[in-house]
Amino acid sequence: MADEHTQPNDGTDKPQGKKPKLPPGFEPKAKKVKLPPGMEPKAKKAKLPPGMERTAKKPTLPPGARPAGKKPSLPPGMAGGDGAPTKLKRKDFASDQDVRWCPGCGDYAILAGVQRLLPDLGVPRENLVFISGIGCSSRFPYYMQTYGVHSIHGRAPTLATGLKAARPELDVWIITGDGDALSIGGNHLIHVLRRNIDVQILLFNNQIYGLTKGQYSPTSELGKITKSTPYGSIVYPFNPVTLALGATASFVARTMDRDAKHMAYVLKRAHEHNGASFVEIYQNCNIFNDGAFFDFTEKATKPHRAVFIEHDKPMIYDNGTKGIRLDGFRPVSIDLTDGHWSADDCIVYDETSMELAGIAGRMFWHDDLPRPFGVFYREERNSYEDMLHMQIKHVTDKRGKGNLEALLRSGDTWEIT
């Protein structure tokens, strides 16, 4: 038998016991075949194109990329590689604008509360819209890294209605105040509630006109002395909760700027609701109406003056020592420590009851009763935009797509010559 260096014959037939002739450069030899330039096996790793050399360090990243040890920057809402969503953070919803409210204003707490809540809602920033009217609260859209509209006095509900009718998939928030919503904007407010547009309405109530420097507002108490009422207001104030209930709102709630946990709970509940969600927020104006709600918000008095209502739970307050029961249709406070009354005698709240909502809502300006906070009323019904698009689809399926030109030229028309 020939050894490994014996060359095969030049014939085309395969000699018995020998391998066929292989292409030049592939002949089996004791040493490795010669490879094309740049591919020779060496003790070192192959030389790679410039910029791709393997070293002990990671390759240089493009300008603007994060330093080694951090993940590369990706579009908002996207995770690395597989495109799965990632949770945004509060800072992702804060714009680059300087927040310009008076130091100590309650608006700061509400802004922070909303920005903390939004990452938990999972709504992409490009689908969020904040619409405001005029007033201190109405600067809110400037401070949100979302879409926003700073509109005209009292008309935020009208813009929100049009936007939701045209783009129902958007998540729309209305930011307003007691003056903006309940004075010049009162008519627009009641109708956005009546129509049940799927928006969140946050009414910052400080019981004063702050932006115009301290005039009495639609929620200022009787006798309020201001620049426009130097001898005291003689006008009975609106109660925003009962006003919203009277406008047949499908979700009505109240919270406060100085209770971040409760505010987050109420705002989340409002967002989960399909329809117009009305949330009154007690907000301190420390310049023109400081302390208006301290009875209900401060640690020393809050347990005695505030009752937090929860669905299917008794109305108990003051650290469990007092409760609310019905005497006919009138709510009264009872002592739960004297052995005469117990939690079983208290109202078990039902947030789906308009009757109970009306009773709780009228616990207002009564020194012998606490002020309720929480969800007063919730009713599940179709939103305006849902019914609008269902109606359009039904008519289109039945009659076909319309023709605007034909419509304009139909019916009674005439020419003026």
What pLDDT, on the 0 to 100 scale, is given for residue 83?
A: 55
Longest dimension (CA), the chain: 127
Establish if 45 belongs to a structural domain: no
Count of CB atoms within 10 A of residue 347's CB? 18
What pLDDT, on the 0 to 100 scale, is given for residue 367?
A: 87
Establish if 366 belongs to a structural domain: yes
Q: Is residue 346 within 8 Å of 334, Cβ to Cβ?
A: yes
Q: Do 222 and 160 sit in the same domain of this protein? A: yes
User: Mind giving me the DSSP string for 101-166?
Assistant: S-TT-THHHHHHHHHHHHHHHT--GGGEEEEE-SSSGGGGGGGBSSEEEE--TT-HHHHHHHHHHH
Confidence of residue 25 (pLDDT cuts 50, 70, 90): low
Q: Do 226 and 341 sit in the same domain of this protein? A: no
Domain boundary among 348, 370, 391: 348
Confidence of residue 36 (pLDDT cuts 50, 70, 90): low
**Better-scored residue on pLDDT, 64 or 412:** 412
Establish if 81 belongs to a structural domain: no
Candidates 120, 71, 92, 83; CA nearest to 272 is: 120
Q: Do 296 and 323 sit in the same domain of this protein? A: no
Q: Do 178 and 152 sit in the same domain of this protein? A: yes
Confidence of residue 86 (pLDDT cuts 50, 70, 90): confident
Establish if 80 belongs to a structural domain: no
Range of the domain at 331: 316-348
- Name which of 66-75, 138-147, 259-268 the model is least confident about: 66-75
Mean pLDDT of 277-300: 96
Establish if 16 belongs to a structural domain: no
* Three-state SS annotation for 282-349: ECCECCCECCCCHHHHCCCCHHHHEEEECCCCECEECCCCEEEEEECCEEEEEECCCCCCCHHHCCEC
Confidence of residue 379 (pLDDT cuts 50, 70, 90): very high
What pLDDT, on the 0 to 100 scale, is given for residue 148?
A: 97
The pLDDT of residue 243 is above 60:
yes
Confidence of residue 87 (pLDDT cuts 50, 70, 90): confident
Count of CB atoms within 10 A of residue 265's CB? 18
CA dihedral 224, 230, 235, 238 (to 10 degrees): -40
Looking at the whole model, is its pTM more than 0.85?
no
- Name which of 81-90, 163-172, 395-404 the model is least confident about: 81-90
> What are the angstrom distances between the C-alpha of 283 and each of 219, 286, 291?
12, 9, 10
The pLDDT of residue 43 is above 70:
no
Q: Do 153 and 242 sit in the same domain of this protein? A: yes
Q: Do 342 and 233 sit in the same domain of this protein? A: no
- List, for residues 204-241, the tens digit of each pLDDT value: 999 999 988 889 999 999 999 999 999 999 999 999 99
Confidence of residue 417 (pLDDT cuts 50, 70, 90): confident
- Name which of 215-229, 287-301, 348-362, 397-411 the model is least confident about: 397-411
What pLDDT, on the 0 to 100 scale, is given for residue 144?
A: 97
Q: Do 354 and 341 sit in the same domain of this protein? A: no
Q: Do 344 and 373 sit in the same domain of this protein? A: no
Q: Do 337 and 259 sit in the same domain of this protein? A: no
The CATH number given to whatever domain includes residue 249 is 3.40.50.970
The pLDDT of residue 96 is above 90:
yes
The pLDDT of residue 279 is above 90:
yes
Candidates 87, 167, 148, 157; CA nearest to 121 is: 87
Q: Do 210 and 230 sit in the same domain of this protein? A: yes
Cα atoms in the 13 Å half-sphere on the side-chain side of 233: 20
Candidates 310, 316, 251, 313; CA nearest to 280 is: 251
Q: Do 341 and 309 sit in the same domain of this protein? A: no
The pLDDT of residue 341 is above 90:
yes
What pLDDT, on the 0 to 100 scale, is given for residue 320?
A: 97
Q: What is the DSSP letter of 274?
A: S
Instruction: Give dist(CA 65, CA 70) in Å, integer.
Output: 9
Mean pLDDT of 279-290: 96
Q: Is residue 149 within 8 Å of 132, Cβ to Cβ?
A: yes
- Name which of 3-7, 98-102, 182-186 the model is least confident about: 3-7
Establish if 258 belongs to a structural domain: yes
Sign of CA dihedral 172, 176, 181, 183: negative
- List, for residues 290-301, the tens digit of each pLDDT value: 999 999 999 999
Output the average pLDDT for the chain.
86
What pLDDT, on the 0 to 100 scale, is given for residue 171?
A: 98
Mean pLDDT of 82-88: 69
Q: Do 232 and 332 sit in the same domain of this protein? A: no
Establish if 173 belongs to a structural domain: yes
> What are the angstrom distances between the C-alpha of 233 and each of 59, 215, 224, 388?
72, 10, 5, 43
Establish if 328 belongs to a structural domain: yes
Q: How many domains does the chain have?
A: 2
Mean pLDDT of 187-215: 95
